[in-house]
Amino acid sequence: SYELTQPPSVSVSPGQTARITCSGDALSKQYAYWYQQKPGQAPVLVIYKDSERPSGIPERFSGSSSGTTVTLTISGVQAEDEADYYCQSADSSGTSVVFGGGTKLTVL
């Protein structure tokens, strides 16, 4: 099995840029996916294949990858972006899934 490591928390002021990292050896070979989860709700996919944005997700959400680290960037953070964010990847067969521990984004 393998692990994905995220910082427990990130804080930014409205209008600033938030960057949330996710690290793990598997990320050099497998894509990463990012989910946003608000209290009492199911997670919502915000980035897939490291940097692709699903339809309906605001352009301020973007993703990037470098080696064994992927980064979720939220530009011009809004109060509504305050949530928990989880990265996710899979093994080489795509059948074994792993989540990062999650990062709580606080908008000050």
Partner 1 sequence: QLQLQESGPGLVKPPETLSLTCTVSGGSISSRNYYWGWIRQPPGKGLEWIGSIYYSGNTYYNPSLKSRVTISVDTSKNQFSLKLSSVTAADTAVYYCARLTTVIPHFDYWGQGTLVTVSS
Applying the rule CB under 8 A, the residues between 41 and 60 that interact with partner 1 are 42-45, 48-49
* Binding status of residue 1 toward partner 1 by CB under 8 A: yes
What's the rounded Cα separation, in Å, for the pair 99 and 80? 23
* Binding status of residue 95 toward partner 1 by CB under 8 A: yes
* Binding status of residue 100 toward partner 1 by CB under 8 A: yes
Residue with smaller CB distance to partner 1, 12 or 45: 45
Stretch of 11-19, 59-67, 70-78, 99-107 lying at the interface with partner 1 (CB under 8 A): 99-107
CB–CB of 31/52 below 8 Å? no
| DSSP conformational letter for 58 | -
What's the rounded Cα separation, in Å, for the pair 8 and 102? 6
Tokens of 1: 């099995």
Residue 16 CB, shortest distance to partner 1, in Å, is 25
CB–CB of 20/7 below 8 Å? yes
* Binding status of residue 86 toward partner 1 by CB under 8 A: yes
CB–CB of 18/74 below 8 Å? yes
Q: Which residues sit at the interface with partner 1, rule CB under 8 A?
A: 1, 31, 33, 35, 37, 42-45, 48-49, 84, 86, 88, 90, 94-102
